[in-house]
Amino acid sequence: MRKLVSAFCAGFFLLVVPLSAGNSQAVLTPKLADLSGIVKDANWALVLGKAFFFDQQVGSDGQSCYSCHFSAGADPRLNNVLTPGFLKEPEEDTSFGAIDNFDGEPLPNAPIGTTKSGGFPIDATYRLKADDFPIYELSDYKDRNSPIVIATDDAVSSPGSFDATFFKTRRIFGVKDWCGKPNNDIFHAGKYAARQVEPRNTPTTVNAVFSLFQFWDGRAHRKFNGVGVFGPRDIAGDPQKRLIVLDGAGKPQLGYLDLDDASLASQAVGPPLSEKEMSCEGRTFADVGRKMLLRRPLALQKIHPQDSVFGKPGPFGDLRLRFLTGRGLRVGFTYSDLIQKAFHEKYWKSNGRFIITEGGQLKAGGKHGYTQMEHNFSMFWGIAIMIYESKLVSDKSRFDDCNPALVAGVPVCQNVSDALTPGELDGFRLFTLFGPNTGGRPGPACSACHPLPLSAESQFQAGTSLVMVERSRMNDRGPGTPAVIEGAVHDRGFFNIGVSPSSFDPGNGGTDIYGNPLSIARIFLAEQLGLPVNDTSGVTDPCNTPTLIELGGTPVYPGCDTDVNDTTDSVDPSFDWNEEREMVAGSFKTPTLRNVGLTPPYFHNGAYGTLRQVVEFYSRGGSRRDKSLIDPSYTGDTSGTGLLGKEGFPVPAPDFGTNVDRFVQPLDLTDDEIDHLTAFMLTLTDRRVQCDQAPFDHPSLLVMIRAKPTDANRDGRADDVLFELPEIGASGYDPNSGFCVHNKGDLFEPGMQARSGGLRVPLAE
């Protein structure tokens, strides 16, 4: 069986090699989509994409993409950021605070409805405190099965839109859409409706271009269809999800894109229509287009004269894109103008209005229709933002200056010899190599799932071949079962690490809006069973697909051999693919660790406020609970969905199984080792990201600080308290300004809330 070692799968604990062949910094090179025939001028598309990303005219309630990604691409706010267990299975939980039952384990002394500090988070005016973290606490943080002090299915995320129904856009004047009276049942400040909070923590946009799929659950497809998040699944599932494209004779026809390496575009078209993020419920992208096309880009926001795209250093600096007052682009530029400059005519030049029927027919729309440019606004939006976000590459850190490697088990810097301290280098050793050379610990290195230099197995560079499915080792089926190594399939770069029960959030184990599994591994199993699919796994030969079988001892499929020169073997036809084990439910995308010191809180639910708490989590082997704590006859843990990982919720007793990857097991790190690992990860921070130097510079932004229990304009919405984050140009913020993000890996480090109106603390040199 052919098993080729891929650089993408590097990081296994028995083999460590230098990160580069010579003394040079790692260069991170994203694989970009081929936009020929779609984009006619990449510079104008970049201008358009940056304007789209930052413009607060887009959201129904005044939000831009940047509204949730304004601090190192993430969000450190403390007010109006708790969200209840909307994703809990089999039924959502809409109440806040501590729960009395942890996936079947009774918590008789739980302070129900409170936070760890004793606060009552039922109102959006609640402000998180340091004592509220971690939001899941054990009596002994080193023992995952010690008594639970407090647990919750809440998450810490970002405030978005109000819970209201969309009526109509305001085409030229006015920022907010016409929407109905907002609901205040769940999110409220006093008696008034407050902004809703998204169900998962906000991940950073920096280096997101390297991810094959986007969002924590991977639902933003690698192939952009021009109209939605789900790639070919949208096209198969909804005949209305089509573009209008002019043929060679100038006649409008229905079509769609099949644009590979474009998950950023798929992701970008999600939030503008999300009722919890940027939209009143029921708004379409054609509505967004109608609202935005005649508007002057960024008309309400200030642009720095040295902005790296809009200002003097930009591609059109001499054209003076900025308006003379500094607010927005100059008069004469509308979004319609920018689209015409950036995209080929076949996507926008048609006259008239159209509708696409439920059956997928293109018809003249009259006064009820939309123009071609309005219909196709989702494509312009997605591709332009993808072009802008592809510039947000961070690869200039102290880690890169050092370019560390292990030489005979000793960590050294290959480049600048003193770029890392001895403690940080020891942290690199721990990060890279567990096993016999570190005291015989059973576990692998952090780098098994966070291979350097990208630091995330979910990410890949140009020139890298990638198999989207992996069969990994599972030690057993959970506590109380024999320790037998088995294989289990999962999406590459997606793991269940036991942060919370799979029943709290299925993650990659969920489904899309058409009922298809999000997981490519489950698509792979459906293909092997001969079931119809509207997506593909890319695996045609389970015996001889390189890297499908994880290196290091994962069992091969029956009938396959391990001879790298033999490609004639095949899976035994008697093998029952229904019996293949899954490690899908409760799995989430492995995030990048670059700039991790700038982006607390951590994990998909924002449960941990400091980076040290995260390392403590890994040291104890995660937070999954043995089901034998409930009943001695039960086997498995809280991550499990049955013996094969396939059961729905609730999982039938007594065999719960486990879905946690075998790499997550107790490491028993000392306090010094925890400190060294934490310190090493802080070396992955890029100073440009800290201080918003180009390409991370930006226009001004009105940041929502908190909700007030008042309604001054009588619109039924709690009043926002706003702070204007100043615009900055290519040189970034002065370190003494207090707006540089502190690289401490601590949500409550003084100065972390400066960008949302908090205390400003100069950055120490």
Model pLDDT for residues 243-286, shown as the tens digit of each residue: 999 999 999 999 999 999 999 999 999 999 999 999 999 999 99
pLDDT the model gives residue 202: 97
Q: Examine the pLDDT at 12 and tell me if it is beyond 50.
A: no
Look up residue 744 and give its two tokens.
Answer: 């401490």
Q: Residue 429 — φ and ψ, nearest 5°?
A: -60, -45
The verdict on 320 and 455 lying in the same domain is no
DSSP three-state, residue 723? strand
235 inside domain: yes
pLDDT of residue 434: 57
Among residues 648, 682, 716, the one where a domain terminates is 682
Is residue 133 domain-resident?
A: no
Domain membership of residue 232 (yes or no) is: yes
Residues 335 and 405 in one domain: no
The pLDDT value given to residue 24: 54
Of the candidates 202, 134, 130, the one whose C-alpha atom is nearest the C-alpha of residue 748 is 130
- Count how many residues are written for the chain: 765
Amino acid in position 525: L
Given a contact cutoff of 8 angstroms between Cβ atoms, the answer to whether 603 and 133 are in contact is no
Has residue 10 got a pLDDT over 80? no
Do both 402 and 271 map to the same domain? no
Local structure of 340: helix, strand or coil: helix
Contact 456, 551 (CB under 8 A): no
Range of the domain at 676: 8-31+396-459+669-682
**What average pLDDT does range 352-359 have in this prediction?**
95
H or E stretch at 263: helix 263-268
**Sequence-ordered list of residues with C-beta below 8 angstroms from that of 48, at least 6 positions apart, any chain:** 297, 335, 338, 339, 341, 342, 380, 384
56-105: per-residue pLDDT in tens? 999 999 999 999 999 999 999 999 999 999 999 999 999 999 999 999 99
* pLDDT at res. 173: 66
For residue 295, pLDDT beyond 90:
yes
SS3 sequence of 206-256: CCHHHECCECCCCCECCCECCCCCCCHHHHHHCCCCCEEEECCCCCEEEEC
Average pLDDT over residues 325-354: 95
The pLDDT score that the predictor gives to residue 172 is: 66
Tokens, residue 188: 């409220």
Q: What is the pLDDT of residue 563?
A: 80
Cβ atoms of 144 and 163 within 8 Å: the answer is no
Between CA 745 and CA 602 the distance in angstroms is 9
Instruction: Give residue 580's pLDDT.
Output: 96
Query: What percent of the chain shows pLDDT beyond 70?
Result: 94
Separation of alpha carbons 639 and 151, rounded Å: 15
- Same-domain pairing of 317 and 348: yes
Q: What is the pLDDT of residue 175?
A: 73
Q: What per-residue confidence (pLDDT) applies to 444?
A: 56
Domain termination site, one of 355, 389, 423: 389
pLDDT one-digit tens code per residue, 380-403 = 999 999 999 999 999 999 999 999
Distances (CA, A) of 29 to 26, 390, 461: 9, 10, 6
**∠ CA(630), CA(633), CA(639), 5° rounding?**
55
Tokens 């770029």 belong to which residue? 419
Integer Cα distance of 260 and 466 in angstroms: 13
Give the mean pLDDT of 120-142: 96
Pairing mode, strands 192-193 and 188-189: antiparallel
Which pLDDT value is given to residue 668?
A: 87
Does pLDDT of 21 surpass 50?
Answer: no
H helices then E strands: how many in the chain?
A: 13, 23
More confident residue, 4 or 519: 519
Q: pLDDT tens, 596-619?
A: 999 999 999 999 999 999 999 999
* Same structural domain, 268 and 411: no
User: pLDDT digit string (tens) for 104-120?
Assistant: 999 998 999 999 999 99
Task: Give a yes or no: residue 316 inside a domain.
Answer: yes
Query: Whole-angstrom Cα distance, residue 326 to residue 306?
Result: 11
Q: In this model, does residue 514 exceed pLDDT 80?
A: yes
pLDDT in tens, 428-481: 999 987 544 445 555 557 988 999 999 999 999 998 888 999 999 887 888 888
DSSP-derived pairing of the beta strands 188-189 and 178-179: unpaired
Confidence of residue 13 (pLDDT cuts 50, 70, 90): very low
The answer on 424 and 294 residing in a single domain is: no
Structure-block tokens of residue 441: 């610990």
Tens digits of residue pLDDT in 650-708:
999 999 999 998 888 888 899 999 999 999 999 999 999 999 999 999 999 999 999 99
195 neighbors 123 (Cβ within 8 angstroms): no
Establish if 643 belongs to a structural domain. Answer: no
Number of domains in the chain: 3
**Element (DSSP H or E) covering residue 431:** helix 422-432
Q: What is the pLDDT of residue 533?
A: 94
Cis peptide upstream of residue 654 (ω within 30 degrees of 0): yes
Considering the domain architecture, whether residues 407 and 369 belong to the same structural domain is answered as: no
- Residue recorded with tokens 């809409």: 94
Residue 763, C-beta contacts closer than 8 angstroms, at least 6 positions apart: 690, 691, 735, 736, 740, 742, 751
C-alpha distances (whole Å) from 223 to each of 214, 257, 518, 539 are 11, 8, 14, 17
Selection from 507, 472, 732, 664 nearest residue 580 by Cα: 472
**pLDDT at residue 160 above 70?**
yes
pLDDT for 549-562, tens place per residue? Answer: 998 889 999 999 88
Domain membership flag for residue 656 = no
pLDDT of 161 higher than 50? yes
Residue ending a domain, among 628, 655, 682, is 682
Same domain, 275 and 336: yes
Identify whether residues 422 and 345 lie together within a single domain.
Answer: no
Residue 437 lies in a domain: yes
**Same domain, yes or no: 383 and 292:** yes
For residue 531, the one-letter residue type is L
Contacting residues for 477 by C-beta, under 8 A, at least 6 apart: 486, 635, 636, 640, 643, 655, 657, 658
pLDDT on residue 16: 35
Q: What is the pLDDT of residue 485?
A: 85
Concatenating the DSSP letter of every residue in 697-714 gives -B--EEEEEEEES--TT-
In SS3 terms, 108-129 reads as CCCCECCCCCCCCCCCCCCECC
Matching residue, tokens 């575009």: 265
**Domain assignment present for 178:** no
Of 639, 603, 598, nearest to 743 (Cα)? 598
For 709-724, what is each residue's pLDDT tens digit? 999 999 999 999 999 9
- Residue 76: the pLDDT is 97
User: By CB neighbour count within 10 A (0-12 exposed, 13-18 middle, 19+ buried), where does 6 fall?
Assistant: middle
Shared domain for 228 and 363, answered yes or no, is yes
238, 314: one domain: yes
Question: Which residues 6+ apart lie within 8 Å of 196 measured at CB?
Answer: 83, 159, 160, 161, 162, 163, 186, 187, 275, 276
Return d(Cα 435, Cα 157) in angstroms, integer.
36
Residue 303 in tokens: 């642009």
pLDDT of residue 269: 98
The letter for the amino acid at 169 is: T
Whether the per-residue pLDDT at 121 is higher than 50: the answer is yes
C-beta neighbour count of 454 within 10 angstroms:
23
Beta-carbon count within 10 A of 539 CB? 18
At 200-226, the pLDDT tens digits run 999 999 999 999 999 999 999 999 999
Mean pLDDT for the chain? 92
Q: In the Cβ-directed half-sphere of 699, how many Cα atoms lie within 13 Å?
A: 30
Distance CA 746, CA 611 (A): 7
* CB atoms near residue 141 (< 10 Å): 16
Of 341, 343, 335, 306, residue with least CA distance to 322: 306
